[in-house]
Amino acid sequence: MPQELSLPVPDDFHIHLRQGQDLASYAKSAEQQFGRILVMPNTEPPVNSAESVKKYKAEILAAAPSLKVLLTFKLNKNYTEQELLEMRKNGAIAAKYYPLGVTTNSQDGVSQIEDMYPTIELMEKLDLVLCLHGEEPGVFCLDREKKFLKHLEKLIRIFPKLRIVLEHVSSAEAVERVKSLPQNVAATVTVHHFILTLDDIVGDSLRPQNFCKPIPKLPKDKEVLRAAVFSGNNKFFLGTDSAPHALEKKECLCGAAGIYSAPVAIPILIEEFEKENELALLPNFIAGFGADFYKIPRQNKKVTYIKKEWQVPKIIDGAVPLRAGEVLKWDRK
Ligand code: DOR
Ligand code: ZN
């Protein structure tokens, strides 16, 4: 078993850095783990114009100057081709679709995906990527992703050239669907869906730090997801969906969904891939397939991890991280 591991500097193709006072600490913590990140737009106010894309990127870079920052903007039906081009010029490479009310700051989300088709048609023409929060609102929580898949199928039928990422894929049905659709449909995989099931939220005790959307599901779902990754399928790549919320926002009457995983994501993945004897697959999963899908160059910088136990702090940047208080086996050198 190796004691040192040299890896390509990871990309995170799905991260939340928030806004205002919190932004700097979350951006710095991302900078310690990743070389390049794709930042989600569900901030307050949202990222939904060329101006806001530019401003958000500048704010992130001011806090974390060594990060390569890629942006998303919230999908809505009002964009013109000119605006989409302007957003791209300012650093956006994808639009994020949020159904109404399914997750944090989605009160302005979409109720009819068909209303978005004119914008999506432009995106297909401009080769902008569509990132989907693939959950159907108003359905039993464990079925939301499964019930969304009909929209994914319809999208790819109507827009056959559109590149689509089904974000934070969490159910066996969605994994299988992504596998069976053409190469321009991929999925991000989070560290938490890779290791957690519903049991880790409500099994023995209530663990709000593991509550997120989509909800981690049954053992079978987790196994199917892991099998897809461990098959080396290039449609599945890392997007942590690291989504910090201050402790008091998660542990209250109406707790926020989101798991703060950025500080522990890579050490956990190394441990999991090592357990399965699949460390050789890790470089492509964390720093290859995603870049290829987004048609951006792979990064060639390296980072070394060493086998050294460390205890995850109970709180980081005011938020409870994934695996808080537990001992991890790998650390950055
Ligand atoms: O659990 C989640 N938290 N899922 C999401 O899709 C959004 C995220 C957040 O922004 O807090
Ligand atoms: Zn997210």
pLDDT in tens, 130-161: 999 999 999 999 999 999 999 999 999 999 99
**Domain membership flag for residue 106:** yes
Ligand with an atom nearest the CA of residue 72: 2
Ligand 1 — pocket residues by CB below 6 A? 16, 42, 103-104, 133, 212-213, 241, 243, 257-258
**Domain membership flag for residue 226:** yes
**Domain membership flag for residue 289:** yes
Cα(178)–Cα(175) distance, integer angstroms: 5
Q: Which residues of the chain have pLDDT under 50?
A: none
**Domain membership flag for residue 318:** no
Ligand 1 midpoint to CA 144 (Å): 15
Domain count for the chain, please give it. 1
pTM of the model: 0.98
* pLDDT at residue 258 in the model: 98
Instruction: Look at residues 331, 277, 273, 268 and name the one whose alpha carbon lies nearest to residue 304.
Output: 331
* pLDDT at residue 78 in the model: 87
**Domain membership flag for residue 46:** yes
**Domain membership flag for residue 304:** no
Q: Spell out the residues 6+ positions from residue 114 whose beta carbon is closer than 8 angstroms to its own.
A: none
pLDDT in tens, 6-31: 999 999 999 999 999 999 999 999 99
**Domain membership flag for residue 315:** no
The end-to-end CA distance of the chain, in Å, is 17
Residue with CA at minimum distance from ligand 1 atom 10: 104
Q: Spell out the residues 6+ positions from residue 255 whose beta carbon is closer than 8 angstroms to its own.
A: 208, 211, 249
Q: The CATH number of the domain where 31 resides is what?
A: 3.20.20.140
Question: Which of the listed residues 75, 108, 241 should we mutate to test ligand 1's pocket, taking the one with most ligand atoms within 8 A of CB?
Answer: 241
Q: Containing domain of residue 221, as a range? A: 9-299
Query: Residue 138 corresponds to which amino acid?
Result: G
Our answer to whether residue 241 is catalytic in this structure is yes
